[in-house]
A and B are shown apart, each in its own frame.
Chain A
Amino acid sequence: MDIIIKDLCKSYGENTVLDSLNAVIGKGKITCLMGPSGEGKTTLMNILMGIEKADSGAVENMPQNKSAVFQEDRLCESFSAFTNVKIANDSLADDTIISHLEQVGLGDAVYQQVSTLSGGQKRRVALVRALLAEKDILFLDEPFKGLDEDTKKIVTGYLLNNTADTTVVMVTHDIDEASALGADVLYLKDGKITL
């Protein structure tokens, strides 16, 4: 079933971020949240994930099993890339984890401590972790942040190959990223969906 967002409101003091926002997120589709900075994309995503609470309104048909790439990488820095992926899904075979890390160009960094990885490498670890976790919905908050163009292409391909029939909600500023993923776009402006 599609996820239905009804009259969602959220304010921080005087600042209204979401103003009776209504939207539908298609099941099994990729939906991109776009819009200028500070318009509440991440706030909306956090409410959908259950990290923040809305002041009023409702989100219907939200699946229980969620997975995410956050705005920050949120990795366990003193553990390896392999362990970071493994702890999100214990049932994964070691070979599967290694193969996925290799697919995003992290073959040499599988057992490397995350704190020693570059920003772009960490982002890819976070992405592999999110994609391999058991999930009914995947949240991606600027998943390509810090990646160069070549790596972005590789990661986009990897994302498309591994998100078939998965409901994906992604925050991005880049319309090209949304197009490359064939995503539906919800444009946030003044606390509402305007497109």
Chain B
Amino acid sequence: MKNKSKIEKTIAVAAALLLWQLASVIIGEEVLLVSPFKVLVRLSELIFEKEFYSAVAFSFIRITFGFVLAVAVGIIFATAAYRWHWAETMLWPYMSVIKATPVASFIILCLIWLNSSSLPVFISFLMALPIIYTNMLAGFKSTDTKLLQMADIFRFSFKKKLVYIYLPNIKPYFISACSVALGLTWKAGIAAEIIGIPDGSMGEMLYNAKLYLATADLFSWTVTIVCVSILFDKLFMKLINTMFKRLEDL
């Protein structure tokens, strides 16, 4: 079944690439739509350049740092909001504003407040924070009160309640929040880099590609961003699942 799904997906990707190739042939203008083959050629050139890796590292470190920071702060805030109602009330306006404000507004504000190299960290953090916070709080709130009563009768310590009651309940909420937030942080982080143009970032590379109408570069960097984002998503999710599995094996 799993193999069948993989084969189907491979066929779908191959069909999409073929469609892309056909479209580029029909249009016949590489500036407008470069062919996948040209992108592959340009990408194979880029990966031998030192700047390629430094740009990937630059963006990866900052976006990941922003995301991890959002996870940590989101968990702390959600725990506080679950524990104390006043904390939830006090956090509500911030979370509502962050959720509703267009990312471009934050990017422009951050450019005034911060230097451009800190921009992806802050934007990734802001995009992921309300998602992690909201989901974690929903997870805490959905904890079975009857199980908590049982824990009180059996005099469970806080650690026991956390490991055996809260974490298994929060798990699906946390995984879902991370999955959604990860994709969003990459999109917002790179968008912030394109506007802020920090030196040596993937966003700067994309901006330059646009500036010089280097469509093959634009597509190559986009492919790189998608690949790095998917890879990080998979690695992070594996890490989270391993962490929960270890807790369940305690």
Q: Which residues of B contact A78 (CB under 8 A)?
A: 168, 248
Q: Which residues of A contact B154 (CB under 8 A)?
A: 67, 87-88, 129, 133
Q: Which residues of A contact B152 (CB under 8 A)?
A: 50-51
Is A32 on the interface with B (CB-CB < 8 A)? no
Contact yes or no, A87 B160, CB < 8 A: yes
Dominant secondary structure of chain A at its interface with chain B: loop
Number of A-B pairs whose CB atoms are under 8 Å?
A: 39
Would you list which residues of chain A between 25 and 80 have a CB under 8 Å from chain B?
49-51, 65-68, 70, 72, 74, 76-79
Would you list which residues of chain B between 141 and 193 have a CB under 8 Å from chain A?
146-147, 149-150, 152-156, 160, 164-165, 168
Q: Which residues of B contact A49 (CB under 8 A)?
A: 153
Q: How large is the interface on A (under 10, 10 to 19, 20 to 34, 35 or more residues)?
A: 10 to 19
* Beta-carbon nearest neighbor of A46 in chain B: B149
Contacts A72-B146, A74-B147, A76-B168: A87 and B248 contacting too (C-beta < 8 A)? no
Q: What is the CA–CA distance of A74 and B165 in the complex, to the nearest angstrom?
A: 11
Q: Which residues of A contact B149 (CB under 8 A)?
A: 51, 70, 74
* Beta-carbon nearest neighbor of B146 in chain A: A74
* Beta-carbon nearest neighbor of A74 in chain B: B150
Q: How large is the interface on B (under 10, 10 to 19, 20 to 34, 35 or more residues)?
A: 10 to 19
Q: What is the CA–CA distance of A74 and B147 in the complex, to the nearest angstrom?
A: 6
Partner of B150, one of A50, A70, A79, A83: A70
Q: What is the CA–CA distance of A194 and B149 in the complex, to the nearest angstrom?
A: 30
In the complex, what's the smallest C-beta–C-beta distance from B60 to chain A, in angstroms?
Answer: 33
Q: What is the CA–CA distance of A139 and B231 in the complex, to the nearest angstrom?
A: 52
0/1 interface trace, chain B 40-62, chain A, CB 8 Å (1 if under): 00000000000000000000000
Contacts A87-B160, A87-B164: A76 and B153 contacting too (C-beta < 8 A)? no
Contact yes or no, A68 B248, CB < 8 A: no
Task: Name B residues whose Cβ lies closer than 8 Å to a Cβ of A.
Answer: 146-147, 149-150, 152-156, 160, 164-165, 168, 248, 250
4 tightest Cβ-Cβ pairs between the two chains A and B = A74-B150, A78-B168, A76-B164, A88-B154
Known: A87-B160, A129-B154, A133-B154. 8 other contacts (CB 8 A): A51-B149, A65-B155, A67-B154, A70-B146, A70-B150, A76-B165, A83-B164, A87-B156
